[in-house]
Amino acid sequence: MEIMGKISKGSKMDQVYISKNRRGFEIGSYVIIKPLEEGEQILKKIEEKLYFYNVNYIEPLKVEIINRIIEIIDKNTEDYQNIIITGSFLNKGFNFNDIDIIFVSKEKADLKNTKIIGEIIEEKIKIKIHMIILNNKSLINGLLTDPLYELMLSRCVSKKRLIYKIKYKLKNKINYKILDLHLLKSKILIDNFDMLNGNEKYYLIRNMITIFLYLEGKKISNDKVDFEIKKQFSLDTKEIKQNMIQKNDFLKKYKFIYNKASNKIMAEIKKQTNKKTNKN
């Protein structure tokens, strides 16, 4: 990781300021300051910097992996608007199963070519990837109607600056049938509690709480979802992932929230169906 700065004149000592929003440079770290050659090479490095959103720290090795992914994509296609890395890969440490990549295409993506690019990435970096392919319109629509899109982009790293600012949700635009399908995934935890490991349970709890917060009209982010999980179940992320859950007490609370969210979704589906019927 490299940080570029400019020497500024001080009253007693000249100084170089670096942003607090930096990756891999902790307070107290020793660094080397050396001059850079003027010219296009410096400008190119500045232009190629990554954009970090709510990522307070990321290991330098992960930054190298992200840059390698972008490099592979650039070598194989120019038909895209942005590349966004999200998911558990951005959590501190190396406890992740795959890398989630949102490939934002210019128009309609060539799915066959994109699949090949995904296979090349896996072959080169030796890590499993999960690539979501969307055009710009689909991504904006997803942010308006689907809480999981909002969660994905609440904490991410992107090649280009994100310009999506969804300040409000239009209630009549929300697709409650999609929400119902998302919520149904979390029912697996109720029916198969003893068969699931800690990471699987955490994923299903997070999925349900995300939808619950969304229905309450609250802003979605990883920190807010984890805070709500702790508030509702008196469990933090670490305890859940280590499978340290008291089954009976937990399931009682879980079913209550699940049913509350499900009832609200079904009521909204019924309202939207009645409106369509009345119009016809």
The pLDDT assigned to 206 comes to 93
Nearest alpha carbon to residue 179 among 100, 271, 272, 264: 264
Q: At what angle do helices 147-154 and 198-215 cross, to 10 degrees?
A: 110
The pLDDT assigned to 111 comes to 62
The pLDDT assigned to 98 comes to 87
Q: Is the dihedral of CA 119, 125, 127, 130 positive or negative?
A: negative
Q: Which residues contact 3 (CB under 8 A, 6 or more apart)?
A: 18, 19, 22, 25
Residue 228 CA: distances (Å) to CA of 176, 209, 241, 242, 244: 22, 7, 16, 19, 18
Task: Say what the pTM is.
Answer: 0.67
Nearest alpha carbon to residue 93 among 241, 248, 201, 259: 241
Residue 136 CA: distances (Å) to CA of 32, 42, 72, 210, 245: 41, 30, 21, 23, 41
Domains and CATH numbers, the chain: 48-158 (3.30.460.10), 171-279 (no CATH)
Each residue's pLDDT, cut to its tens digit, for the chain (280 residues) gives 566 667 787 777 888 777 666 666 677 777 777 776 654 454 444 445 788 988 888 888 898 899 999 999 988 887 788 999 998 899 888 878 889 999 998 776 566 677 888 899 999 999 999 988 888 888 888 887 788 888 888 889 999 888 765 544 544 467 888 899 999 999 999 999 999 999 899 999 999 999 999 898 888 888 899 999 999 999 998 899 999 999 999 999 999 999 999 999 999 888 878 877 777 6
